[in-house]
Structure 1
Amino acid sequence: MNRCQVAALLMSAAALSLSTGGAMAQQSGDMKGMAGMHMDAQAAPSGSATGKLGDLDISGGYVRAMLPGQPVGGGYITIHNGGKADDKLTSVTSSAAGKVELHEMKMDGEIMKMREIKGGIAIPAGATVTLSPNTMHMMFKQVKTPFKKGGSVPVMLMFEKAGMVDLDLPVVSAKGN
């Protein structure tokens, strides 16, 4: 299965689990048993990565284990800007992947669509921004070795004003726990 087919399958599965009004995501009974296909933006698992960079507090960092044949991996993190100036997460790199993109999933009518966020993610002063399943997230592409539960994935987060910080994100199960 190529990346386009996988992306189409994931978007179709996400669209199937949405209510007909399109405003509220619900978990389909059929999808509950499929690893990595649930629609909840649950709390970060215990043991998730944390860090501090200037006024930025970083918490809840983790990636999900990849399923056999899965070409991409997902990563999640929460960033709180305790300062008086806005900042921006401009990029993420990892030695575990050829490319890491910042992505967003959102409703377009009754269809859930995923797209790359060009130009970074704003971290307003005094605000908390969460990259979590089925919203904004890190998409690891050209993964060198599939992420396995119990391992870790090194990342470097680059911020417009605060600079860069290195973290090791623990790999949790494909279900996110």
Structure 2
Amino acid sequence: MTVISSHKDLEALTLTIIAEFETSAERLWQVWADPRQLERWWGPPTWPATFDSHDFVPGGKAGYFMTGPNGETSRGWWKFTAINEPTHLEFDDGFADDNGNPVDELGTTHGAVTFEAIDGGTRMTTVSSFESLDQLEKMIAMGMEEGIKEAMGQIDSVLERSPV
């Protein structure tokens, strides 16, 4: 398992997940930058993602849908707010309707991902920031924390199968 810790900070309205990988930051960066690699791990194993857009530049947008075990779908969107290859990226994140348009019912979260060289590999720290305690609690109740941990657990196989 690549995830080494997760922590909810109710006062700061954040969820932090730390994972370590036996690869370089440059290689790990590619699992975010390449939508075909990204969709092989984004979303838990029972809800794989398909990215239909992925403009990986500051101000760029990504759109995706996850397909559940019974064929149901859930759409999401990202807007990239910072990209500093290969050490840091940030994006706003939310749910979308069937046409990919943002919906406000669960608000927007902000993701910040850092890549730090460690002995033998790279530590990836992902911090999700929420608009309110209510939003954080709803997202956790929906399974966000466990889903992210399961999703990140798939990155090792992507790294093995898709060398740069």
User: Same-fold call, TM > 0.5?
Assistant: no
What TM-score, normalized to structure 2?
0.31
Q: Computing the radius of gyration over CA atoms, which structure comes out larger, 1 or 2? A: 1
What TM-score, normalized to structure 1?
0.29
**Which has more helix, going by share of residues?**
2
